[in-house]
Amino acid sequence: MVFDTNPSEVSESEGEESGETEQQRDEIHSRRIDGPDSFLNEPTELTEGVYLLEECTINPHLRELKAAQNPQWFKRGHEFHTPINTYLLVGEDEALLFDTSSPNVRNAITDGVREILEKEDVELSYLVLSHDEAAHVGNAYPISREAAMVHPDYQEDADDTYELQEELHSTLIARKPSRVAPEFHYFDDAELVEPGHTIDLGGGRVVEFIEPVWQDGAPTLWMYDHKDKGLYCVDSYGFPHCSGDCGKWADELEHRVSQDQMMEYNGRAFRYIPNCNPWKIIDQHNHLYDNYDIEHIFPAHGQPIREEIDRYRGLMDSMVERISRDGSLGTEYVSAEELTDISF
């Protein structure tokens, strides 16, 4: 598995200006891609014992749209990335994995988790499935069992092959009650929990499962780490970024994250908001902060946040008001045929 935290720019003319040949660009592309239009960045230790494994999906459709609109945060000539984040939390006694990324990075995520566990000399005891979308639970089976599926070159006519891995003895965690798509049949093996359930990983790292403010399908499970005061908020607080910004904290980006940037993801993820009472959502959001001291925010589809927590909190509230007033963002600029190839 080879990681690349600074993906090359994709334009042919831009590649020529940088001195790259077509063959060199192809080699870079082949090194970083673990699946179609998707790659896994090098694992990043965000705080002591908390690791980010960030998958980035490349979206050429939105890249072209942003290039035309030219918002401040978008870097011309760069790729448009929607991140899919997996977090590995290591305690003194045990480790917990929060979500598993998409099947596109199946081998990379399995190897990445194993490398961190070997480095920390700890076993993966818990695998938390926040909800039943493929981008979140797509690798639960190979990580929690002993087999990882490999799709050679992702060719349609290629036979599926299996590579045996060292067994990871982990307990699957999902929300109760669990109404899950039938293809995710391994949820039947999960320990079903309710908000308020806690797990002690040792060394002061106690995680608590909490009620989500923003649901992304039923059931959705959020998590709070009492040691780092970290909120694992699944699909909320998400935003895209440009190539070159992968694996960074939000405060390390060139421009401050704006409401427009957050709308690019949240405006598409939470299309039900116009049908809801926005003030009840905001009240529930306030209730969350009244009950938990939040110093870190770890979204599934955005860069981790450690500064300006109150500002991001306000951005999410104003985003709710905006979607309620103006409606959610659509995909009218993408054909139905093209839409099948896009991951949001």
Q: What is the CATH number of the domain that holds 28?
A: 3.60.15.10
Q: Torsions phi, psi of 120, nearest 5? A: -85, -10
Asked, for residue 218, whether it belongs to a domain, the answer is yes
Asked, for residue 78, whether it belongs to a domain, the answer is yes
Average pLDDT for 211-215: 91
Unique residue bearing structure tokens 């609109």 = 69
Average pLDDT for 251-277: 88
Q: Quote the number of domains for the chain.
A: 1
Asked, for residue 2, whether it belongs to a domain, the answer is no
Unique residue bearing structure tokens 């192809």 = 26
Asked, for residue 79, whether it belongs to a domain, the answer is yes
Asked, for residue 344, whether it belongs to a domain, the answer is no
Asked, for residue 6, whether it belongs to a domain, the answer is no
Asked, for residue 184, whether it belongs to a domain, the answer is yes
Rounded CA-CA distance 108/103 in Å is 10
Q: Which residue has the higher pLDDT, 72 or 254?
A: 254
Six token digits for residue 242: 């440009």
Residue 282 in this model has a pLDDT that exceeds 60: yes
Unique residue bearing structure tokens 């994995």 = 97
158-191 pLDDT, tens digit per residue, is 333 333 334 445 677 777 655 544 445 455 566 7
Unique residue bearing structure tokens 């500002």 = 311
What does the DSSP 8-state code read for residue 98? E
Rounded CA-CA distance 253/300 in Å is 17
Q: What is the dihedral of CA 171, 175, 180, 184, to 10 degrees?
A: -20
Are the CB atoms for 199 and 182 separated by under 8 Å? no
Q: What is the pLDDT of residue 145?
A: 62
Asked, for residue 274, whether it belongs to a domain, the answer is yes
Determine the structural domain holding residue 257 and report its residue range: 12-339
